[in-house]
Structure 1
């Protein structure tokens, strides 16, 4: 027998306690907008949930840490929960790591339309409309596991459409064992749809607003349509006002355009067109194939300031959050063969590179400076193998620039 069609919102990972990151400085003209953007993204979801064609809302974890977000963040949730209660719209909330139910203060009770699922067991709650059950929502808050424990979500078989709400990492093989129609998942800040994880869909909807260059790209929430035949359609809705963008550039691209500044300018124009008028926070990763290409980059600090000056004050703004120049692995053979200090330096660097930097010993340099703390000296004396290659590349670049009479073309970070 056919059921009824319905529509719900799936959102997660608001992190109202966390500001935007990967910023070494906050531009004054964007300060207020940056401060408000996490709350505004959450508001956009709630405003969409108040629409008449939305039947209920599911939240899959990490909305806020009550202590860190404070009354300001809690008031936002409670005010909108009350508005949804006034419109008789159920809210189903599975807590993640930061919004542990035990952290929620007893002095701020949730309205009756909000189900905050317990941590110790899965609970199934029917969703009714006009006296008829349209689906069943099954949820369990996180116990602190990094992965989702699917077996704990098992419920008695039902003919109703089932929405499972959970927090933590999982994969298609594990999720399909639950035999649910839709998995509303949380705990990942970037959106991910898992094919084959459920009869209808399994979705990490991601955070409504990215917070770092590791969370680049579009962010928002999901609107899920289920028709009378229980066919599921998931719509990605974007609501981020600031968008992080990671852009990689290599020497061949610079050579093709002829100017690093022209190339970066063209990329910014393209990014602005692709991202629909949002403010952009850009991280540039520039690779230099050989020492011959260093002149094409020029001084990295000057390039960073030029980008911020030329493109960071527009409406919308394209603010450069970081500029990384990857040192070349090879320098011209003629430099290496020179009977000069530069040649000696490059040959020594190559020797260290061949043995993976195992003979690197920075401790003697600390003995020349009395102010260096013992902890810092210990770290320099025992450079982890994973960092040796990076340190050697950076040191070689610095030495080459200084010995050739140029400015040190070092990595610029946020």
Structure 2
């Protein structure tokens, strides 16, 4: 039997207590906008709940740490909750880690339209419109476990659409055992869809505002439309004001244009066009194939200063937070064959590369610093297996640049 169509907003991970990274490196004209970016994104979500034709709002945790954000942050949520209450719009809140219900002040009651789910069990709440139940929302706040405890969501429900709400990680198999129509998930800052986890979908909507280069790309919230037949459509809505972007350039790109700076400029202009006038915070990853290409890059510090000066002070701005030159895997054969310190150095580096750097010991270097205790010296001397090759490549690049009389091309960041 057909039901009723409805729509709701799915949002999570506001982190109103947490600023964006790289704030101290930005030009002064961006400080105020960047400091207010998390609040601006959260307001965009809640404004949409007021002006769009929304039946209810689902919030999936890590909205705010009351202690860290203080009254200023709490007032934003409370003001919007009150406005949604006046509009008779229910809000369902499954808390995460930072917004643990135990940390919400008893002296600050939530409006009656807000259901803050408990930590010790899942609770099912019917959503009614004009006297009819249009769906059930089943939620549980995070109990400290990193994964969602799906078995605790099991309960006898009547026929109808079901929305399960949780905060934490989970795989498709575990979520599918709940047999819900839609999983609204929080706890991951980048949007992600888990296929095969529910009848109509399972989504992490992500944070409405990215905060560093690990959270690159578009950020916002999700509007979920359910038709009378129970079919679900999701719409990703973007509301970030600053956007982090990884930009990769390889040797073929450089060879095609012949000029690295022109290529970087083209990439910036394209990104500004694609991202709709937002401020961009860029992380460049430049790869070269052999040592002879080092001349096309030049001094990395000068390159960083140039790209910041050229594109980082406009409005919108494209500010470079990090610039990484990946060390080449090969250096010219003639350099290896030189009877010079450079040639000796490259031949030794090549031998170490054959063994993935397993024979390298940094402990003798720590012995020069007598103030270091044994534990600290051992920690500094150890190179993990995962980073051994990268460390060797970076050390080789540094040595080559110094022995050739140039400046080292390494990671440059604020």
Q: Common fold, TM-score beyond 0.5?
A: yes
| Pairs within 5 Å for 1:325-344 | 325-344=325-344
What corresponds to 2:197 in structure 1? 197
What secondary structure sits across from 2:47 in the alignment? Answer: helix
What corresponds to 1:66 in structure 2? 66
Whether the 8 Å CA contact 2:26–2:319 is kept in 1: the answer is: no
What corresponds to 1:49 in structure 2? 49
What corresponds to 1:382 in structure 2? 382
| Pairs within 5 Å for 1:308-327 | 308-327=308-327
Whether the 8 Å CA contact 1:95–1:167 is kept in 2: the answer is: yes
What RMSD, in angstroms, separates the aligned Cα atoms of the two structures?
Answer: 1.5
* Stretch moving more, 81-90 or 191-200: 191-200
Whether the 8 Å CA contact 2:14–2:208 is kept in 1: the answer is: yes
For residue 222 of structure 1, report the CA deviation from its aligned partner. Answer: 0.7
Aligned: 1:147 with 2:147: yes
CA distance in 2, matches of 1:375, 1:276: 51
CA distance in 2, matches of 1:375, 1:280: 41
Output one character per residue of 1:229-270: Cα deviation in whole Å (capped at 9) or x when no partner.
Answer: 222111111101111111111111101100110010011111
What secondary structure sits across from 2:25 in the alignment? Answer: coil
For residue 179 of structure 1, report the CA deviation from its aligned partner. Answer: 1.4
Whether the 8 Å CA contact 2:280–2:319 is kept in 1: the answer is: yes
What corresponds to 1:97 in structure 2? 97
For residue 376 of structure 1, report the CA deviation from its aligned partner. Answer: 4.6
CA distance in 1, matches of 2:125, 2:279: 41
What corresponds to 2:215 in structure 1? 215
* Stretch moving more, 372-381 or 43-52: 372-381
What corresponds to 1:30 in structure 2? 30
| Pairs within 5 Å for 1:15-414 | 15-22=15-22, 25-51=25-51, 53-370=53-370, 376-414=376-414
* Stretch moving more, 347-356 or 327-336: 347-356
What secondary structure sits across from 2:36 in the alignment? Answer: helix
CA distance in 2, matches of 1:176, 1:209: 29
Whether the 8 Å CA contact 1:66–1:99 is kept in 2: the answer is: yes
CA distance in 1, matches of 2:366, 2:139: 55
What secondary structure sits across from 1:233 in the alignment? Answer: strand
What secondary structure sits across from 1:50 in the alignment? Answer: helix
Whether the 8 Å CA contact 2:93–2:116 is kept in 1: the answer is: yes
CA distance in 1, matches of 2:321, 2:266: 18
What secondary structure sits across from 2:173 in the alignment? Answer: helix
* Stretch moving more, 65-74 or 90-99: 65-74
CA change 1:376–1:27 in 2 (3 A) is farther
What secondary structure sits across from 1:133 in the alignment? Answer: strand
For residue 369 of structure 1, report the CA deviation from its aligned partner. Answer: 4.4
CA distance in 1, matches of 2:32, 2:104: 28
Whether the 8 Å CA contact 2:322–2:411 is kept in 1: the answer is: no
For residue 98 of structure 1, report the CA deviation from its aligned partner. Answer: 1.1
Output one character per residue of 1:24-45: Cα deviation in whole Å (capped at 9) or x when no partner.
Answer: 6132111000000000000001
For residue 336 of structure 1, report the CA deviation from its aligned partner. Answer: 0.6
* Stretch moving more, 380-389 or 306-315: 380-389
Whether the 8 Å CA contact 1:23–1:321 is kept in 2: the answer is: no
CA distance in 1, matches of 2:324, 2:107: 48
For residue 192 of structure 1, report the CA deviation from its aligned partner. Answer: 1.1
What secondary structure sits across from 1:314 in the alignment? Answer: coil
**Gaps in structure 1 of 5+ consecutive residues:** none
TM-score with structure 2 setting the length: 0.96
* Stretch moving more, 95-104 or 143-152: 143-152
Whether the 8 Å CA contact 1:186–1:204 is kept in 2: the answer is: yes
CA distance in 2, matches of 1:245, 1:127: 39
CA distance in 2, matches of 1:212, 1:52: 30
For residue 107 of structure 1, report the CA deviation from its aligned partner. Answer: 1.3
Whether the 8 Å CA contact 1:172–1:196 is kept in 2: the answer is: yes
